[in-house]
A and B are shown apart, each in its own frame.
Chain A
Amino acid sequence: MGEHCFVLSAAHVIGPALKASLGGPTNVLAGPTSLELTADTVSLREDIDVATVRITEDQLLEIERNGYRATRPVSWPPPQVEVGDGILMAGYPGTWRLPVSWHELDFRAVTLGLLVHSVHATELLRTVIPDIPTPSTSASRRPRRWSYLAAVEAQSS
């Protein structure tokens, strides 16, 4: 955001990585970049399971140079999700993770294009996989706008 750069992740990912970093030499990676996890660079809220790690602009450029895409929102906070929105969801389900060898995990990814059918409580969406729009699809059946939900996993060693 503006001149501020940070990695957005989950508290259940960054929490253990921060604990390991504070306990001794630990290498935490975001793509090709080593993250410095300290009380100054990490913000963490376990109640909403969100964490951020501040990075420098040079680190961000290194991440992008290696083929990763950074998000530069035009406004913040993000817009609320509403009925009729299209959602692109991407993540790495824990149940799909495969131990390839004693020191390697295969993080299998899932991506879904969904249509928001209803919004419940504070953080629940009921969605449906939409028909692929064609030129004959009426405007009322097309997603009003598209947003995306992301899940981020970090590797530490």
Chain B
Amino acid sequence: MIRQEQVLVPNLCGLVKEGGPVGDGHIIIRFARLEDVRPDGHLA
């Protein structure tokens, strides 16, 4: 049986800098947000 579902298109939300497991099943991620990138590509 083929089940059809909605295709999700993710939004870019940042740049990964580093990350890793913390031993309890969780993963900590440090990333750069992109608020300072202007739509023309210049950085504020």
Contacts and interface: CB of A to CB of B under 8 A. Distances in A.
Interface of B: 3, 8-17, 19, 22, 25-37, 39-43
A129 interface: yes
Contacts of A135: 3
Contacts of A22: none
Contact of A81 (B14, B22, B37, B39): B14
Interface of A: 1-2, 4-6, 8-10, 43-45, 48-54, 71, 73-74, 76-81, 86-91, 112, 114, 117, 122-129, 135, 145-152
A149 B14 contact: yes
Q: Which 5 A-B pairs have the closest CB atoms?
A: A6-B41, A147-B13, A1-B39, A146-B10, A43-B43
A43 B43 CA distance: 6
A44 B43 contact: yes
Contact of B13 (A78, A90, A91): A78
